[in-house]
Structure 1
Amino acid sequence: MSGLRCVDVCAGAGGLALGLEQAGFEPVLLLDNKPVACDTLRSNRPAWQVLETDLLDFVPSRHQEIYDTDLLSAGLPRVKSDATVARADTGDELRLLEATVYLVHAVQPRALVIENVPGLVGAPEFEPVRDLIREELHHLGYRFRWFLLNAADFGVPQDRRHGLLVALKEQYFEAFRPPGPTVREHLSVGRALGRSMAMGGWRDADRWAAQACGVAPTLVGGSDRRGGADLGPTGTKRAWARMGVDGSTVADGVPGPEFAWAPEAGRHAMVRITTDQAALLQGFPPDWRFAGRKTARYRQIGHASPPPVAKALGLAIGAALATPAPPAAGYTSTL
């Protein structure tokens, strides 16, 4: 699958692009409107062409490198499940989703992947959105399918469900198969973070890891318009508390030898995870660095697409694109 090229919009911290790169795609242009996310991309992949702009303001004709692209990918901001999708003022998230589909007109990729909330796949309130996408893609000669994947099935120690749209040009569609699980057993939080928790000399690291025997709840990046870094809403914090983790904040460093872990005493006696550990829970490699201060780093991580899921998607799409197209009507192959 050498020589495959992709354009990634709303690229964020690069989780989708990194996974696609691991699957054999070369990102020729990455687009995001957040300066700190663009700094993250440039610091990890100086050779990538990163454009700091809003997708709604993007002018395709000024970027010739996007044409003749194999894949257009988009890990878009989460469309709200309670959005009134039939109205014109549906919010930036929905406009970005529509802009991605319209961008297909200009780019004409052989394949498209959009990653978003699970509800987008089948929830009744999103039916007008799905209708719009269906009409546009059919008009352009694509066939597509909606499906769900859980990051935990791909070695990510997190219960994170993804709603996915994969569209391909007509001649490649029948060869596409959604990726199946790559692990037989889910990776637990304790196994994923046990070594890093012990790096500061914390004596209870093994005992904690034994208790943290399940996958993490979904990491939530939160809004740029409120508060600092935390691991999610109330229900998510309760799930973390059952693992002896205080989910109301993110630590500056791992616990030292003096830390007394007593989760039964309340959140102030629980351990906290760091941004580097949150990145491990998203499936990022340890050497991937995030720009900005702690809250900005955590939000990039929480909003990211896990690279292992993106890699599995990339391999499945690449395999479909590598499948020879069937002979044209009226032509019989002699081979």
Structure 2
Amino acid sequence: MKPLTFVDVCSGAGGLALGLEQAGFEPRLLLDHDELAVTTLRMNRPRWNVLHTDLLDFDPTDHPVSYDVDLLAAGLPRVKSSATVGRVESEVEERLLEATIYLVHAIRPRAVLIENVPGLAHADAYQRFRDFARAELVHLGYDFSWCVVNAVDFGVPQNRKQGVLVAVERGRAQEFRVPTPTVREPVTVGDALGPSMAARGWPDAARWAAQADQPAPTLVGGSKNRGGADLGPTGAKRKWATMGVDAHTVGDEVPGPDFVWDPDLGRGGMVKITVEQAALLQGFPSSWEVAGRKTARYRQIGHATPPPVGRALGRSVAEALCGEPALSAAG
């Protein structure tokens, strides 16, 4: 069986594309407007066809390789409420959602996968987009469904809910099933990061891991208009503090043998999560490299679709298209 093919727009650090590759899909074209994200993709997969361009400027007639593909995938920037970002930024993100639907007109994939914030699937704030997507996709001959998935159900040590639109050519759409959880018990932060916390000989790594006995709250990549990296809003920071982690910043390295871990002392007595550890909390393999300086690297990681979620969604799409999982060379 030939591998299924896909085009991935707004590819970012490659989380969704990597997951689809693991599900047996073969990329025809990936694109992103961010130069560092493009560098990240090319570093990790030199054979991938990666285009440095904005989705809003992309013309598929200049890239015929994007036609006749099985899947159009889009892990779009997570649209925030007006309380967290400026209206101009939010409008750009909404335009990207619509541009993805218009791209369906142009390349006519057999299936479409759009991932974004959980509210995209059900919140009143996104009803206009859902109505727009319904009208366009029904006209083009697709049936579709909305669902919300949580990364923690797929072995990712993070509570991260995502709103997902899956559209499949009419006649096969009834074969699509929302992916079922792949783990019975959630992976905790301590499970995921314990070994890396001990890498420089920190004697309290095991004690810390025992306290970090829950999944992480949702990592937030933040906006380029914001300052340095942190692990999320106030509620997330409080959750991290219960695990003895200072979430107001991102660390440069894991603790050494002389670090005294005492959360009762405040932020100075807490550990900091590094960019590499944030990638592990997103389900990236440790071999995945991210280009740029610390804040830019963390931003790419925080915005990414966790690869295990991409893999689960990809397998469900493959089963709808083929009646069985895609042929996977990546496992």
Q: Which aligned pairs between 1:126-137 and structure 2 lie closer than 5 A?
A: 126-137=126-137
Q: Structure 1 residues 118 and 53, CA, compared in 2 at 3 Å: closer, same or farther? A: same
* Equivalence for 2:4: 4
Deviations 1:182-238 (A, max 9, x none): 000000000100000000100000000000000000000011111111101111111
Does 1:109 find its partner at 2:109? yes
Does 1:179 find its partner at 2:197? no
**CA–CA distance in structure 1, aligned partners of residues 242 and 144 of structure 2:** 40
Contact 2:156 2:281 in 1 (8 A): yes
4+ residue stretches of structure 1 with deviation over 2 A? 80-83, 87-90
Aligned-partner SS, 1:171: coil
Q: How far did residue 89 of structure 1 move?
A: 9.9
* Equivalence for 2:262: 262
Q: Which runs of 5+ in 1 are unaligned?
A: 325-335
Contact 1:172 1:323 in 2 (8 A): no
* Equivalence for 1:150: 150
Deviations 1:290-324 (A, max 9, x none): 00011111000000000000000000100111039
**CA–CA distance in structure 2, aligned partners of residues 282 and 2 of structure 1:** 30
**CA–CA distance in structure 2, aligned partners of residues 282 and 50 of structure 1:** 22
* Equivalence for 1:94: 94
Q: How far did residue 2 of structure 1 move?
A: 3.5
Aligned-partner SS, 1:27: strand
Aligned-partner SS, 1:91: helix
Aligned-partner SS, 1:166: strand
* Equivalence for 1:331: none
Q: How far did residue 81 of structure 1 move?
A: 3.5
TM-score (normalizing by structure 1) = 0.94
Contact 1:81 1:119 in 2 (8 A): no
More relative contact order, 1 or 2 (CA 8 Å, 6+ apart): 2
* Equivalence for 2:305: 305
Code of the aligned partner of 2:103: L
Code of the aligned partner of 1:258: D
Q: Structure 1 residues 90 and 234, CA, compared in 2 at 3 Å: closer, same or farther? A: closer
Q: Which aligned pairs between 1:33-112 and structure 2 lie closer than 5 A?
A: 33-82=33-82, 91-112=91-112
Deviations 1:237-275 (A, max 9, x none): 111000000001111111000000000110111000110
Cα RMSD after superposing both structures = 1.5
Q: Structure 1 residues 89 and 15, CA, compared in 2 at 3 Å: closer, same or farther? A: closer
**CA–CA distance in structure 1, aligned partners of residues 89 and 30 of structure 2:** 27
**CA–CA distance in structure 1, aligned partners of residues 290 and 90 of structure 2:** 31
**CA–CA distance in structure 1, aligned partners of residues 234 and 43 of structure 2:** 34
Q: Which runs of 5+ in 2 are unaligned?
A: 325-331
Code of the aligned partner of 1:112: V
Q: How far did residue 90 of structure 1 move?
A: 6.1
